[in-house]
Structure 1
Amino acid sequence: MADSTLVFLILGLTLAAFSWGRFRYDLVAVAALLACTLTGLVPAGEAFLGFGHPAVITVAAVLVLSRGFERSGLVDVIAEQTLKVGEQLVWQVLVLTGTVLVLSAVMNNVGALALMLPVAMRMARTHERPPSLLLMPLAFGSLLGGLTTLIGTPPNIIISSYRASQTGEAFGMFAFSPVGVGVALAGLVFIVLLGWRLTPRREGQASADELFDTAHYLIEMRVEEDSKALGWSLRELQAALEEPVPVLAVVRAETRRAGHAFMGKLKVGDILLIEAGPEEMKLLEDKAGLRLGAEPEGAADDETSEKAGEEARDAEGEQHPLSATAAGRDAGDGVEADGGRKASRRLDPEGLQLVEAVVRNDSMMIHRTVVQLRLLNQHGLHLVAVARDGARLKQRLRDIRFRAGDVLLLQGDEGGLGESLAILGCLPLASRNLTLGQPRLLALSLGIFALAIAAMLLDWLPASVALSAAALASLLAGVLPLREAYQAIDGSVIVLLGAMLPVGQALDTSGGAALIADQMLAMGRDWPVMATLAGLFALSMLLSNVINNAAAALLMAPIAASLARGFDTSLDPFLMVVAVSASCAFLTPIGHQSNTLVMGPGGYRFGDYWKLGLPLSLVVMMTAIPLILWVWPL
């Protein structure tokens, strides 16, 4: 079998696996690399040289610097000003999308989106408007901003390194700016004036209470003298129930302890604050003997209490609006004490450390259940609820296999929530309190980055060395702790790049890229070069919507080089077409992590993206190709 046929077969299977999404893209990339090595397409001694490639080192350094910007308070300063925008939706779209566009130019675009996403959610909730109107423009703005500089997005770094391998000279830091800025501005104008009107309006998603309906599921259950659960630990209670019903807090003698931190035995009079529906409530009564309501039996109006319990039990799977407040009111709003005063014993759920978080594409939670992850034992987190596609899932929590984009409602220690979410690969959505950082760290972070840019512009150092030195300087200066630096480096992206670089080279050395280019040349023989560039743009853009944009750039770069040789023209315009088009994954939620991250919080469906994405893609193409030919003539 010819080498070109082998590489097409391996790439076909790789693309199918990328599109299927059953396995993480880094695992698929490693499998493709090993297949190319075992078939002789990649020499065994060169199989892992891609992990030392300048593009991989540059991406890792950019991720560290991005986290440094966040920790120093630079982004918080910008976000604080963003929240001051008025009530007009057009202005909100402009400010949010424009801000993330600018941030994406100097930091990883997923990182920029992750920082602005809570700001957009807070803005939507403050103005009682569906976040679906803001989040898709925000995600697309992060992609557009990455086009403007070398470090804005991995495809630019890849294309720059590929040019260096072909011509001996890489693209500079701002070589992408003349085209990238023009395309980004055209996209921004389109989104602000017309595009946001094409986004779906998902009503009822503006507040966390509406998304999860949490208040309607916080109930109070009391341990009585005849309760089976008397003397049990919470772990024994869960074992008896055979169902992970979240116990959010245990109240004893007016002292409340978080459920995950309560290690004692249950006593008479203990009140359990539980997140449960009608089925779980009946389970708690039948198997543990717990009683609904915070007051002792006889202290409340028996008729009212009984009615509330019967209504909850008879709901038969329907979501019953019984809150902790309602339970306290209906099951005993107060007790007649001495002097005729009523002493309220209702629990206030606001003191609980609850947080919303979205599952990232690279999360360790994907395709796993809460039992397999051991959220409580290993991470100190209670899973309270899961929302998918804008609606709360009603199936049992233990049976849910998490997907990228799922929105989770979690409870845990306030101090450890951030670290636990980072380990799990979740992005917190709760409105965070903006911390402006320290002025010294902010100045250091900006100064170090400016020196790295100067070194690149003056050709003192290549991008990989300059940015790595900047990352090291940030660590030594205390801008970023070493542990956070390692957490900032997205291992899945590094593995993807390191594995796919040799595969992309195999496409070139096997003659596969030349065969594809010859077919495109044959079809476009009687057409101007601009038409072929448009075809290359469309092919690369479609590919980036089903696989990672970095992988798309790696595969399309050799084809672009073969086309340039076939037309006997400059290589630069063809590479620029690939750089822009590979970052324009606007049609699907799986083409880029930014799109996936907003899917759950925005309540989007798979088919929502093309409604804004298709016209935006056409605007980008019609703007990019003339600009490329003007800035980088044939």
Structure 2
Amino acid sequence: MNPVALVAIIVAAAIVLFMWNRLPVAVVAMLVCLSLWASGILSLEQALAGFGDPVVIFIATLFVVSSALEITGVTAWIGKHLIRVAGEKSRSRFVVLMMSLTAMLTMFVGTAGAVVALLPVVIVISVRLGRKSSQLLMPLAFAAHAGSMLALTGTPVNVLVSDAAVDEGFAGFGFFEFALVGLPLILGSMAIVVLLGARLLPQRNGAAIPADFSRHARTLVEQYGLGNDIHRLRIRGSSHYVGRAPSTIDLAPDEGMQLVAVHEGDTARPISRPHIAEGDHLLLRGDAHVVAKFAADTHLSFRDHTGGADDILFTHKSGLAEVAIPPRSGLIGQRVFPGMVTESGDLIVLAVQKAGAPIDEIEPQSQTGAIVLGAGDTMLLQGTWKALDTRLSDPDVLTVGSPDLVRRQAAPMGSEARRAAFVSAAMILLLVTGLVPPAVAGLLAAGAILLSRILTAEQSYHAIGWTTVVLVAAMKPLGTAMTETGAAQLAADQLLSVVGQSSPTMLLAGLFLLTALLGQFISNMATALIAIPIGVAAAAGMGISPRPVLMSTAVAAAAAFLTPIAAPANALVMGPGGYTFGDYWKLGLPLLAWFFVVAVFIVPLIWPF
């Protein structure tokens, strides 16, 4: 069979499978890759070349950098503080600020990352404003699409079009060069949402509202009756506790105090050494005046903390988690008590409730005050975030809530957040200056994140969106096949026969409509990988620069507004916003029209043909 016909069949089958949505997109992409090899169109080396492509490597590193910003609380911190500026009265002011913030975050953490970071904050604000979540969440997602055109790192499509320009012998697009169209896109999107959004968006709340964990720590300490009674005391070198075993600390003579934990240094971990040393910390529960007197008598450093127990127990190093005992748990029948270190040695039992009642309201079942755990009992655990991540997967307990989401939404920023911000800024500087190729800048940033222990190797692995990586790597050889067989040239000739040879503007219009239409049903990455070689071949056929054609293609790929399956950001807000499939096109059509205007008429003014 003619190679061009084979490529056409493979492309058509891929589009159908993408739209069918029964197979994972990565599987469809791999089928495309293998089909190109099995049909003899590409050699094995050509078919698998995408997996070693610098663009694919750069995209993978962006996921690691984005995750570092999220997990250290940088994105949540920015979201909370900037959205607070909007106030709680003006819908228009809030929408403009929300969309601006979303667009800025998208430059660094991608569309899905920005939406995930701001989704719970926007939901809380919608309640305070007395508005339905459906009025705000779709603009949140659509702002991320426009914001993806502000910088090279906004979306992998931007990296692809820049790389395609280089492949054709032209200069790639600079890091912030995308902002020349990104700014008109986001400003126009804001105007459309402010003027038309209230009428075009439904008035409803979603059933699947993500939990707001911004006050989670305070809720837990209040529920377990800890209140303001937790105090953190530092062991001084002159204290008689230095050199003694933690088990020898006896608070019996000091009425109204209870030893909660002994932390090793500033680590927020239970002490693992046999003896207490200077710099260790005691967590005590009791009245502040009593604790202050005890600290003075025993040479401990005490500072009256007015922020509450949650500020002491919930930091950038350590957190809280509530767990329940399920039926058939191996912990049923075991004795526990507040202050007890778990068997793993890295978590502390702060409080226990039986049938909703705190342990100190239950008659002790032993002289130590321990109780026997039963199904349905709950415990409040404290430990480092790493310990919580590791230990709470134990099948003997059921975790209430998500410690990972709690950390991302509410944990105070510490030195890790500053390091993550510094690494991200350094990567952006390298990309802006062009000192090293993008893949090298990304690898240096990801390596710095690992070496500085912002993320572990396992966290970095899980942070990478492997579906996107495999999709790009497996579909990239399709461009090679379309070029080498002449399929791209044939498609370009057909497009030119429709739009005419003499009008580059009509070429942009036709290519935009083709790309945007496909992008409503299949991944914008897959769409771009199909459209880019067609656009490049059409530009060559007309004898014009491919740069405006490629930028127009990137804008079209970002215009994923009409369906919830067009982009992950659209799907993320569907449940919380209570949207139906048919809600998206109402606001999406005006936005799509604006993107068309920018792609067809503004792009050529900036990058001439």
Q: Same fold (TM over 0.5)?
A: yes
- DSSP 3-state at the match of 1:167: coil
One-letter amino acid of the counterpart of residue 532, structure 2:
A
TM-aligned CA deviation for residue 379 of structure 1: 5.8
Aligned partner of residue 496 in structure 2, secondary structure: helix
Partner of 1:38: 38
Distance 1:104 1:260, change over 3 A: farther
Amino acid at match of 2:500: R
Given the alignment, which residue of 590, 610, 620 partners 2:595?
A: 620
Moved more, 484-493 or 169-178: 169-178
Work out the CA distance in 1 between the residues paired with 2:472 and 2:209: 38
The one of 398, 402, 419 aligned to 1:412: 398
C-alpha change, 1:81 and 1:531, in structure 2 (3 Å) is same
Give the Å deviation of 1:616.
0.6
Contact 2:206 2:576 in 1 (8 A): no
Q: Which residue does the alignment assign to 2:412?
A: 436
Structure 1 equivalent of residue 191 of structure 2: 189
The answer to whether the aligner puts 1:473 opposite 2:448 as a matched pair is yes
Matched, 1:24 2:10: no
Which string of whole-angstrom CA distances, capped at 9 and with x for unpartnered residues, describes residues 352-387 of structure 1? 99xxxxxxxxxxxxxxxxxxxxxxxx96689xxxxx
SS, match of residue 7 in structure 1: helix
CA distance in 2 between counterparts of 1:433 and 1:68 reads 14
1:258 to 322, 325, 328: 325
* Helix, strand or coil at the partner of 1:86: coil
Q: Per-residue deviation at 1:186? A: 1.5
1:132 Cα offset (Å): 1.2
C-alpha distance in 1 between matches for 2:168 and 2:210: 52
Q: Deviations for 1:200-237, whole angstroms, at most 9, x for unmatched residues?
A: 1225759689xxxxxxxxxxxxxxxxxxxxxxxxxxxx
CA shift, 1:67, in A, is 1.0
Aligned residue number for residue 61 of structure 2:
61
| Cα pair 1:577 1:628 within 8 Å, conserved | yes
1:73 Cα deviation (Å)?
2.8
1:154 is displaced (CA, Å) by 0.9
* Residue aligning to 2:560: 585
C-alpha separation between the residues in 2 aligned to 1:188 and 1:174? Answer: 20
Alignment-mate amino acid for residue 61 of structure 2: A
- The answer as to 2:508 corresponding to 1:522 is no
Q: How far did residue 261 of structure 1 move?
A: 7.3
Report what 2:427 is aligned to: 452
Query: What is the DSSP-based 3-state SS (H/G/I as helix, E as strand, rest coil) of the residue aligned with 1:148?
Result: coil
Which whole-Å deviations, capped at 9, do the CAs of 1:129-160 have from their partners, x for residues lacking one? Answer: 32111111111111111111111001101111
CA distance in 1, matches of 2:408, 2:162: 37
State the secondary structure of the residue aligned to 2:436: coil
Q: Aligned partners of 1:350, 1:139: CA distance in 2, in Å?
A: 40
Amino acid at match of 1:435: A
Task: Supply the distance in 1 between the matched residues of 2:578 and 2:395 (Cα, whole angstroms).
Answer: 24
AA at the equivalent of 2:325: A
Q: Which residue matches 2:158?
A: 156
Q: Let me know the Cα RMSD of the aligned residues.
A: 3.1
Structure 1 residue ranges without an equivalent (≥5): 210-255, 267-323, 326-348, 354-377, 383-410, 420-427
For residues 189 and 175 of structure 1, the distance between their equivalents in structure 2, rounded to whole angstroms, comes to 23
Residue 184 of structure 1: how far off its partner (Å): 1.9
Distance 1:511 1:470, change over 3 A: same
Q: Deviations over 1:218-274 (max 9, x none)?
A: xxxxxxxxxxxxxxxxxxxxxxxxxxxxxxxxxxxxxx95326744789xxxxxxxx
Q: Which residue of 1 aligns with 2:100?
A: 98
Q: Given the two structures, how large is their TM-score scaled by the length of structure 1? A: 0.66
Partner of residue 600, structure 1: 575
**Post-superposition offset of 1:110:** 0.9
Q: Is the 8 A contact 2:528 2:554 kept in 1?
A: yes
Q: Does 1:566 align with 2:568?
A: no
Deviation at 1:175, TM superposition (A): 2.2
Whole-angstrom CA distance in 1 between matches of 2:34 and 2:465: 22
Classify 1:477/1:510 alpha carbon distance in 2 versus 1 (closer, same or farther; 3 Å).
same
| Contact kept? 1:104, 1:142, Cα under 8 Å | yes
Whole-Å Cα distance in 2 between the matches of residues 350 and 543 of structure 1? 53
Answer yes or no: is the 8 Å Cα contact 1:196–1:612 preserved in 2.
no
C-alpha displacement at 1:611, in angstroms? 0.6
Amino acid at match of 1:86: G
Q: Cα offset for 1:513?
A: 1.2
* Contact 1:130 1:203 (C-alpha < 8 Å) held by counterparts: yes
User: How many pairs were matched up?
Assistant: 449
Write out per-residue CA displacement over residues 46-89 of structure 1, whole angstroms, 9 at most, x where no aligned residue. 22110111111111111111111123332122122145232333
Unaligned runs of 5+ in 2: 212-322, 334-354, 357-375, 381-391
Matches of 2:529 and 2:184 in 1, distance apart?
A: 24
- Classify the secondary structure of the residue corresponding to 1:413: strand
Percent identical: 34
Deviations 1:102-145 (A, max 9, x none): 10012222111111111122222344432111111111111111
* Higher mean C-alpha deviation, range 464-473 or range 527-536: 527-536
Q: Which residue of 1 aligns with 2:204?
A: 202
Q: CA deviation at 1:526?
A: 6.8
1:614 positional shift: 0.9
Q: Give secondary structure in 1 for the equivalent of 2:399.
A: coil
Q: Which SS does the other structure have where 1:461 is aligned?
A: coil
Q: Equivalent residue for 2:240? A: none
CA distance in 1, matches of 2:379, 2:559: 41
Code of the aligned partner of 1:92: F
Match of 1:13, SS state, is helix
For residues 458-506 of structure 1, what are the alpha-carbon distances to aligned partners after superposition, in whole Å with 9 as ceiling and x for unaligned?
Answer: 3320111112111111221222222221111011111101100001221
Mapped contact 1:260–1:412 kept (Cα < 8 A)? no
| Distance of aligned partners of 1:381 and 1:596 in 2 relative to their CA distance in 1, 3 Å threshold | farther
Q: Report the 3-state secondary structure (helix = DSSP H, G, I; strand = E; otherwise coil) of the residue aligned with 1:107.
A: helix
Secondary structure of 1:479's aligned partner = coil
> Which amino acid in the other structure matches residue 134 of structure 2?
S
CA contact (8 A) 1:118 1:431 kept: no
Matches of 2:324 and 2:179, distance apart in 1? 55
Quickly say closer, same or farther: Cα 1:619–1:196, change in 2 above 3 A: farther
The answer to whether the 8 A contact 1:65-1:470 is kept is yes
Aligned residue identity for 1:630: L
Shift of the 264–631 alpha-carbon distance from structure 1 to 2, 3 Å rule, reads: closer
